[in-house]
Amino acid sequence: MLNKGSIFSGTREPGVPVGGGGKVISSNVPSSLSSGAGNPPAASRVQEPAPVAEPPGAKLVVGPGVKLKGAEIQDCDTLLVEGRVEATMDSKLIQIADQGSFDGKVNIDVAEVRGRFSGELTARDHLIIHSTGRVSGKIRYGKIVVHDGGEVSGDIQSLNADSAHVVKPDMAANATAANAEESSITSTVNRLIAKTA
C-alpha cells in the first residue's frame, strides 16, 4: 500500500523507493554487457539517430492507450504522443512514438515522427521521419529528413523558396551532360539542314 506521507513529506522508510510501494525493478541484462565489457564491435551495433533535444518548458505526454480528441493544445512546449491525439496545436516540439498517432493541424518548430501523422503539418525548422514513421496530408517544412523505410505523402512543400531551385551535384552534372548532348545534336541537325538547302 502506498504511504502518502513518504512521498510528499520527503521522509520514507529505509530501503523502499519513494512512491515505489516496495516494488523494485531489475534488469535482465548480464553484468558483463551492462558494464561495457564484451560489447559487440562497433560495426555490428545498430546505429540509432540521436534523439532531438527537448526544449525546456511545459511537456504533455499522451500515454499508450490514451485518446485525446477535439482539443486545441495550448501552452505546451513539447508534446509526446504515445497514444492517439486528434487536435490542433502550435508549439516547439512534437514527438510521435512508434505506436502513437496524431490527426489534426500542427504548427511546430520540430516534428519527430516514429508513428503516424495525418493532417496539416508545418515544421518551421525540421521534420524528421524515422523508419517507422508515416506522414500524410498537407506538409510544409524548413528542412526534412526521411530515414530509410519512412513514408511521406500528400501536398509536400518546403518553406524555403530558395530550396525549390537547389539541384543536387549529381543532378547538375547529368543536366550539364544532357545540355551538351542536346547542343551537339542541334548543331548536327542545323548542319544537315544547311547542306540540303
Asked if 158 and 139 count as a contact pair (C-beta separation under 8 A), the reply is no
Q: How wide is the angle at C-alpha 82 spanned by C-alphas 77 and 86, nearest 5°?
A: 75
Q: What is the pLDDT of residues 123-133, one digit of tens each?
A: 999 999 999 99
In the prediction, which pLDDT does 183 show?
Answer: 52
Contacts of 59 (CB under 8 A, 6+ apart): 76, 77, 78, 79, 80
Model confidence band, residue 53 (pLDDT cutoffs 50, 70, 90): low
Q: What is the pLDDT of residues 69-95, one digit of tens each?
A: 988 999 999 999 999 999 999 999 999
In the prediction, which pLDDT does 187 show?
Answer: 55
Residue 33 pLDDT > 50, yes or no?
A: no
Residue 41 pLDDT > 50, yes or no?
A: no
In the prediction, which pLDDT does 70 show?
Answer: 87
Q: What is the mean pLDDT of residues 50-61?
A: 72
- Rounded percentage of the chain residues whose pLDDT exceeds 90: 49
In this structure, the number of other CB atoms found within 10 A of the CB of residue 112 comes to 22
173 DSSP assignment: H
Mean pLDDT of the chain: 72
Find where cell 506538409 sits.
139
- Rounded percentage of the chain residues whose pLDDT exceeds 70: 53
Model confidence band, residue 2 (pLDDT cutoffs 50, 70, 90): very low
Model confidence band, residue 18 (pLDDT cutoffs 50, 70, 90): very low
In the prediction, which pLDDT does 109 show?
Answer: 96
Report d(CA 80, CA 108) in Å as an integer: 13
CA dihedral over 150, 156, 161, 167, signed as positive or negative? positive
Q: What is the pLDDT of residues 124-171, one digit of tens each?
A: 999 999 999 999 999 999 999 999 999 999 999 999 865 544 344 444
